[in-house]
Amino acid sequence: MTTRKFNRRDFIGGLSQSVLSLLVLSRASQQLVAAASQPTSVLVLGAGLSGLYTALLLEAKGLSVTVLEARDRIGGRVHTLNDIPGKPEAGGQSLSEKYQRLLALAERLQVPVESSIGLDKEMLLSVRGQTVLPKDWASASANHLTVNERNLLPPLLLTNYLRKNNPLQDATAWTKSQYADLDIPLDKYLRSQGASTEALRLIDCSPVSLVNNLATTSALWALRNDQRGKIPSKQPLHIQDGNSRLPEKMAAALKSPVQLNKVVEAIRSFDNGVEVHCADGSSFRANYVVVTLPFSVLRDVEITPRLPALQSEAVKRLNYTAVTQVRFTVRDRFWEKDGYPPMMWTDTALESIFPVRDRQYNVQSFVCWVSGDSAKKLDAMSSTGLEQFVRSQLQQIRPGIEDNMSIVKVVSWGRDPFARGAYAHFAPGQIRRFQKIMAQPWQRIHFAGEHTAISSPGMESALESAERVAQEILSRK
């Protein structure tokens, strides 16, 4: 069977074909026309970006698609907090001109995209109990870095040590066998590049690292992320009125509504179809199933027949980064009184504190963005204990703020039963073992999701995986 790849120009311009006509497969299209009276049926598990996009692509080619979602809302890990001033994003923070699939999709569905403010340019450092402005960092007594590192601000240490000798030249190089020797612990690699013990401590405090801790992260994965950042985005963007508006519009464009509150417990593949069983007693049958659930969730789903040994191990062992956001408002503009920037980078368990601004640049709220082991520490606390802990930490970082703030929401992706982490990352050795087999179809079961993408960052990776899996399904016809 011959196929050809997606044509996004046709996608943008071809309203007459369907809501989304991005996928062009000549022989598959002919077969689908012939079988129009009995269209192939597909179950898609998960109504995040990858699941919804997969469903749209398959519906556009005449397949009958049913999307099952465990949550009571659309979007998965794209989640706009509509009830908080400024409508901040709990997941799927931002996009840019690099997100070509997503931008084409937004245009096609008439979802407005606009520039976003991005992060503040100024910050206050809080290290070893001392507050330091960046201009004073090199000579600060709290700076215990080596002579060669003292001029580097803590948030820039990781990039400094990854960027200078990063051998990856393009977005797919990390999957090539010639770089397998870099699939080692990240802390070990950073030491080989000259990072001091203090530098490693500060890097482990930074949410920019996007991992649980350095020792349990593959250096090759970190170098992959650095390669993607070599060419900075021209302008941060977001969906007008919140990024959740895009998946909501995607769901509305489907022929069949997404079925919510469907927690999948078992997937069974037979010679002539698949069957999915849910916790509420319902079951669904189809010709094929596309699983977009994070492996952190899929590992608790019974799959029959069992996945091949190595693929099963990948499902059980792939790492997911814990991220917890403590969002709060303040009564008084404390930064105007003490003269320091409202954004803070710290070596405490609260890690970084960001202001959320409106389009007039007014501060609407704040978020303590905590990842990895620090997030797990917060997740283990009761709501009362967490509030007391956050206030005590803020008192050390910025005295006076603790009596000025009110926590309005705590978002924990680590404790979310339908995510169990904000995003996947590879442990040392896992790229060599798992990367090539993670997304391989098994029987009538196919896999998509950001963890299976190769070349795209962020939300774009979910769409990349959807294009691949849709092509897999159509190629089987």
Label residue 241 by pLDDT band (50, 70, 90).
very high
Exposed / middle / buried, residue 181 (Cβ in 10 Å: 0-12, 13-18, 19+): exposed
Q: Return d(Cα 40, Cα 96) in angstroms, integer.
A: 36
Label residue 477 by pLDDT band (50, 70, 90).
low
Mean pLDDT on 447-475: 97
More confident residue, 430 or 3: 430
Phi, psi (rounded to 5 degrees) for 131: -95, 130
More confident residue, 211 or 163: 163
Label residue 207 by pLDDT band (50, 70, 90).
low
- Residue 2, pLDDT score: 32
**What are the pLDDT digits (tens) for 388-431?**
999 999 999 999 888 899 999 999 999 999 999 999 999 999 99
- Residue 304, pLDDT score: 98
Mean pLDDT on 104-130: 94
In this structure, the strands spanning 344-346 and 124-127 are parallel
- Here the tokens at position 314 are 């990948």
**What are the pLDDT digits (tens) for 260-283?**
999 999 999 999 999 999 999 999
Q: Which of 34-43, 85-94, 366-375 is most confident?
A: 366-375
The model carries a pTM of 0.91
**What are the pLDDT digits (tens) for 342-371?**
999 999 999 999 999 988 889 999 999 999
Q: Return d(Cα 429, Cα 432) in angstroms, integer.
A: 6
Lowest mean pLDDT among 25-29, 201-205, 353-357, 402-406: 25-29
Mean pLDDT on 126-130: 96
Label residue 209 by pLDDT band (50, 70, 90).
low
Dihedral over alpha carbons 41, 45, 48, 53 (to 10 degrees): -20
C-alpha triplet 115, 117, 123: angle, nearest 5°: 155
**Cβ atoms of residues 286 and 43 within 8 Å:** yes
**What are the pLDDT digits (tens) for 297-335?**
999 999 999 999 999 999 999 999 999 999 999 999 999
Looking up tokens 């070509």 gives 100
- Here the tokens at position 25 are 């497969």
